[in-house]
Structure 1
Amino acid sequence: MTRTTSPFRAPHDYYPTPPGGTRALLSVERFSGAIWEPACGEGAISKVLAAHGYQVVSTDLIDRGFGTGGVNFLAEQTSRARNIITNPPYGSGLADAFVRHALCLVQPTGGSVAMLLNLASLAHPMRHAQWVRRPPTSLYVLDELTCWPNGIERGFAAEHRYCWAVWRPDHVGRPSLWWLSTSVQM
């Protein structure tokens, strides 16, 4: 997958997730079975999941020295674990593609999907039909989370607000909405 990157975006949309973001999710959600983190980067989410007792399969398109590099999630035909949890790349519609593909991959496993998304993405008119057709089970709005590109502070990244969108198998109806603190210690 070759893409041109905006000068205002980190290469390959690499924005590591601070541990508090994943701990916040785990303060309210439990996952049965192994978890695949398909955009693992240097392991920010994977390490928190493993520290909480989950078996984690970590892959990424780019080899950053953690997990298995060179794996194009969007080209995978089967899920590598029952559940999928990630902070997907956002540029060029990739977050939408990750959500759709993850939901397809976990359908045979009966697993769940959790995606860290830009809160503004929930209100985008191009996504309306997708979200209404397949709404998440739960949306968790994070109080404060900044995913700095490669650890380098840039102003635009601080302007984003994030939420976890969680899809459970066989969910029907509207999602629940709740607020989470990223300062939770577990």
Structure 2
Amino acid sequence: MDIKKWVPWNWFKKEEEGIGKMVPVKRENAKEQSGVPAHPLQQFHHEIDRLFDQAFRGFGLYPFGFDQPLFPRLADGILKPTLDLGATDKEYTITVELPGVDEKDVKLEIINDTLTISGEKKQEKEEKEKNYYRMERSYGSFQRVLSLPEDADQDKVNATFKRGVLTVTMPRKALPKSDVKQIEVKST
């Protein structure tokens, strides 16, 4: 029985290693955004949420993640799109949700058994009406770094982009069987 078959592959080990290397982005607190000091209970609630997020981020978990946005931000301000990983006997499938992102703004690279999906979200919306004018802008860069398993065929990767969803498929290749040598134990 091959025990390695039952051990899950850690797709995110490279991403977890690189979290500390990202460039920080300025963040404003509630007081700076509105000009009005936040209520002390609201500040306390925000601080508790931040502590829980920080504690569980190391495990790749969001304890109360039902209300997480489609494009959550890491503590340093970089967008982190959600993704799904799937595997069959024949291929791996990675699906990344990129709402509001154009296909031309998405970049995929494989370097040293690591798949990097990166890009920028640029969105502008302008409304002109008789009594008002509104301009909304949304900008941000994103990056996901995935460690590829040994049996992923990196030479046959296929990527498609449709309606804000990036789908990456990678066939699985057969790995050479490892030679197991039995070592005789002798008594002395």
TM-score over 0.5 (shorter chain): no
Choose between structure 1 and 2: higher strand proportion.
2
Pairwise TM-score range, normalised by the shorter structure: under 0.3
Choose between structure 1 and 2: higher helix proportion.
1
TM-score normalised according to structure 2 size: 0.26
TM-score normalised according to structure 1 size: 0.26
Which structure's CA Rg is the greater one?
Answer: 2
